[in-house]
Amino acid sequence: MAAEAKQQILARIREANERAVRGKETPVPRDYVHSGGLDAASREELFIERLREYDASVTVCASAGLASTIGVLLQDRGWKHVIMAAGFPAAALPFGFEFRQEAEVENSDLDACDAVITGCEVAIAVTGSIVLRHGVGLGQGTRRFTLLPDRHLCVVRAEQLVETVPEAFALLEPFTNDPLTTISGPSATADIEMTRIRGVHGPRFLEVVLVR
């Protein structure tokens, strides 16, 4: 019966197309903007502006200062129970804090921790988005890793930042076997009277550290 359903649907589609396809097939016009025209500094500025519009926090630092910047952030926010994504470079983490490893935690730990730390695969300035590629040991976590906690700290390196959506998809194309998540600000809803409320089910706080 299952095979029969498939054959019948396909037959109906073929019959419909034989009857109703008109005109010659023309190629899809792809003359939309592919790559942006901003220089690196303006691109970073735009990314920061767009993230802040989503109520995400952004801190900028130099590569050498990444660990200390994360340290200051954790101290300021008072985050003690922090978990790092598997494969996230230990060198980027400050001394004097204890970080648990992704591999050793359960859902309940993620639910209860103060924050998780990940990197990302690519980030998009125009939309203020970060894209996580959930491959093994990439330092970007599994999908649940950045979902159950209330706070997500994401490190974006300037060279990972592109301006437009098509630029990002060009970079992601080789990795379509890995699950991908695009994140644009903290989770939100406007289902009640169109009032934007932050943090329905995913993290309520998105903290981005942009490394120049």
Partner 1 sequence: MTVRVGDAAQAPPFQRAALPLLEDSQLRKNVRHATGVIQRKRALVAGELSDWQQLRAAASAIKQQTLRHLDEYLLRFEAACVAAGGQVHWARDADEANAIVLALIRSQNASEVVKIKTMTSDETGLNRALEAGGVHPYETDLAELIVQMGEDRPSHIVVPALHKNRSQVREIFREKMGLPGLGDRPEDLTAAARSYLREKFLRVPVAVCGANFLLADTGGVCIVESEGNGRMCLTLPKTLIAIAGIEKVIPSFRDLEVFLQLLPRSATGERMNPYNSIWTGVREGDGPHQFHVVLLDNGRSGILADAEARQTLHCIRCGACLNACPVYRQTGGHAYGSTYAGPIGAILTPQLQQMRHSQSLPYASSLCGACYEVCPVKINIPEVLIHLRGRVVEQSGLSAEAIGMKAMAAVFSSARRLEAAQRLAQRGQWPWVTDGWIRSLPGMFAGWTAVRDLRAIPRQSFRQWWRERQHGR
Which parts of 75-114 interact with partner 1 (CB under 8 A)? Answer: 107, 111
Smaller CB distance to partner 1: residue 26 or 62? 26
Identify the helix (H) or strand (E) that includes residue 13: helix 2-20
Dihedral of CA atoms 129, 147, 79, 57 in degrees, nearest 10, equals: 20
Binding window for partner 1 (CB under 8 A); candidates: 66-74, 75-83, 90-98, 201-209: 201-209
Q: How far is the CB of 150 from partner 1 (least distance, A)?
A: 10
CA 42 to chain centre: 21
Span near partner 1 by CB under 8 A; candidates 67-75, 89-97, 155-163, 194-202: 194-202
DSSP for residue 27: P
| Interaction residues for partner 1, span 26-85 (CB under 8 A) | 26-33, 50, 54
Residue 212 tokens read as: 């120049």
Kindly state whether residue 129 participates in binding partner 1, applying the rule CB under 8 A: yes
Give the integer Cα–Cα distance in Å for 211 and 64: 9
**Binding residues with partner 1: total (CB under 8 A):** 73
Q: Which is nearer to partner 1, 69 or 164 (CB)?
A: 164
- Based on the number of CB atoms within 10 Å of its own CB, is 4 exposed (0-12), middle (13-18) or buried (19 or more)? exposed
Among 79, 93, 199, 205, binds partner 1 (CB under 8 A): 199
Q: Which two tokens stand for residue 118?
A: 């990940």
Taking the least distance from each CB to partner 1, the nearer of 70 and 102 is 102
Q: CB nearer to partner 1: give 25 or 76.
A: 25
Amino acid found at 83:
I
